[in-house]
Amino acid sequence: MYGNDFPAPDDASGGGLLGEVEAAEAALREAAARARRFGAPTPDADLDAYFADVIEADQKIEPRDWMPEAYRRTLIRQIAQHAHSEIIGMQPEGNWISRAPSLKRKAILLAKVQDEAGHGLYLYAAAETLGISRDELVDLLLSGRQKYSSIFNYPTLTWADVGVIGWLVDGAAIVNQVPLCRCSYGPYARAMIRVCKEESFHQRQGYEILHVLAHGTAEQKAMAQDAVDRWWYPSLAMFGPPDGDSTHSAQSMAWKIKRFSNDELRQRFVDMCVQQAEVLGLTLPDEDLRWNDERGAYDYTQPDYDELMQVIKGNGPCNRQRMEHRRRAHTDGAWVREAAAAYAAKREQQKEKVAA
Ligand SMILES: [Fe+2]
Ligand SMILES: [Fe+2]
């Protein structure tokens, strides 16, 4: 079953997320048209005031614009962390490409993992517009000075994990990233629009894998349930520490990099997943999960934030393995980088010769 003859996750959640991406894209175009028609606010002596005006007017900050150093640093950290997550995130699923249960599943998974590499590339390119080089960014990851999402330090034990990663991990990523389509930094916002559209496909493919398993044999259904049980809380932890402990949030909200708090996004994700789990016929592993009429949202058990901090510090089940693999891949790829640089230099020389 590969058609859309099952309720797609974004339909189950009211079709909202992709609609929001489209609206953000329209807003982005409108802001660009406004800047063309009326001109962007003009920088004068007071650069801080100029920057505040651009943010206030919901215009985008572009690489050529002046920006406060702290804004630049925050964006570099966030975009780099995001790029690293896409690249490291290829490992847990890449692990299953050779063991996918059919040729069709293999082709779909291969395309999905390649998309993640593409996301990494858009994001590294967006970070580079802030004045940091790709080499520096890679070095920050390999030396452990910059982090990647904690979720990718958990192992993928069965084929059902590939389904759950698509449904829950890509699903949580979309909930996190849809508001970033309205981020005040132009290159990041534009990259996020494309990324979110692709993430929506990722979520669907995972959901469909689970739907098939959950409606298969008793063993298949049990395998799907076991995967949901293991990934639910780490997925909730993807939204970061609770608002009270989140160090960068308030400033990022004021700069319109972030639009919602960690807890708001986590709640949105829980509310979305409850309905989707019902359609799948799988149970979310939380006995205290129930609708709260007063809040108009589900009450739920928080993930273990001590575990999250431990995984971030490098003590998760697969941190070492992930970093070792990335370092090895980087070393093994040295000849490709050298060959590409030599080829580029040769082309440059030829161009100069023709020009002379
Ligand atoms: Fe991605
Ligand atoms: Fe994805």
Distance 32 CA to ligand 2 centre (A): 28
Q: How far is CA 236 from CA 45, 46, 133, in A?
A: 45, 42, 32
Q: How far is the CA of 345 from the centre of ligand 2 (A)?
A: 35
**∠ CA 226-231-233, rounded to 5°:** 120
Per-residue pLDDT at 223 = 98
- Euclidean distance between CA atoms 152 and 90, whole angstroms: 9
Residues 256, 330 within the same domain: no
Q: Are residues 330 and 270 in the same domain?
A: no
Same domain as 262, residue 116: yes
Q: Are residues 41 and 183 in the same domain?
A: yes
Number of separate domains in the chain? 2
pLDDT tens string 177-220: 999 999 999 999 999 999 999 999 999 999 999 999 999 999 99
159-175 burial, b at 16+ Cβ within 10 Å, e below that, comes to: bbbbbbbbbbbbbbbbb
Residue written as token pair 């000075």: 145
Q: Do 296 and 339 have their domain in common?
A: no
Q: Judge if 344 and 195 occupy the same domain.
A: no
pLDDT of 31 reads: 79
- Ligand 2 mean position to 102 CA, how many Å? 21
Domain match, 105 and 80 both: yes
Tell me, what CATH number does 205's domain have? 1.20.1260.10
pLDDT grade, residue 19 (50/70/90)?
confident
Flag whether pLDDT at 47 surpasses 50.
yes
Q: Are residues 72 and 189 in the same domain?
A: yes
CA separation for the pair 164, 185 (Å, rounded): 32
35 CA from centroid of ligand 1 (Å):
30
267 and 236 in a single domain? The answer is yes
pLDDT of residue 5: 46
Q: Which amino acid is at 348?
A: E
Cα 107 to ligand 2 centroid, rounded to whole Å: 15
Mean predicted lDDT score pLDDT of the chain: 91
Among residues of the chain, what percentage have pLDDT more than 70? 92
- Shared domain for 259 and 188, answered yes or no, is yes
The ligand minimizing its distance to the Cα of 166 is 2
- Domain residues for 335? 317-355
Structure tokens at 140: 């920050």
Question: Would you say residue 10 lies in a domain?
Answer: no
Task: Kindly calculate the radius of gyration of the chain based on its CA atoms and give it in whole angstroms.
Answer: 22
- Cα(22) to ligand 1 centroid in Å equals 18
Phi, psi angles (nearest 5°) of residue 4: -95, 40
Asked if the structure places residue 32 within a domain, the reply is yes
Q: Are 270 and 323 within one domain?
A: no
CA of 122 to the centre of ligand 1 (A): 10
User: What sign results for the dihedral spanned by CA atoms 347, 352, 354, 355?
Assistant: positive
Q: What is the mean pLDDT of residues 76-103?
A: 96
Residue 87 placed within a domain: yes
Ligand 2 centroid from CA 33, angstroms: 31
pLDDT (0 to 100) of residue 245: 81
Q: Kindly indicate the confidence band of residue 244, based on its pLDDT and cuts at 50, 70 and 90.
A: confident
Residues 6+ apart with CB under 8 A from 66: 43, 47, 50, 51
Ligand nearest to the CA of 122: 1
Question: Which of 127, 112, 35 lies closest to 72 in space, CA to CA?
Answer: 127
Quote the distance between the C-alpha of residue 262 and its chain's center.
14
For residue 308, being part of any structural domain is answered with: no
Q: How many residues does the chain have?
A: 356
5 part of a folded domain: no
Q: Using CA atoms, how far apart are residues 84 and 90, in angstroms rounded to an integer?
A: 10
Q: Which ligand is nearest to the CA of 204?
A: 2
State mean pLDDT over 98-117.
Answer: 96
Helix intervals (H) in 215-261: 218-237, 249-254
Phi, psi of 274 (to 5 degrees): -55, -50
How far, in Å, are 9, 43, 69, 342 from residue 351 at the CA level?
Answer: 51, 38, 38, 14
Q: Is the residue at 142 inside a domain?
A: yes
Domain boundary among 262, 281, 303: 303
Considering the domain architecture, whether residues 290 and 324 belong to the same structural domain is answered as no
**Is 330 part of a structural domain of the chain?**
yes
Does some domain include residue 11? no
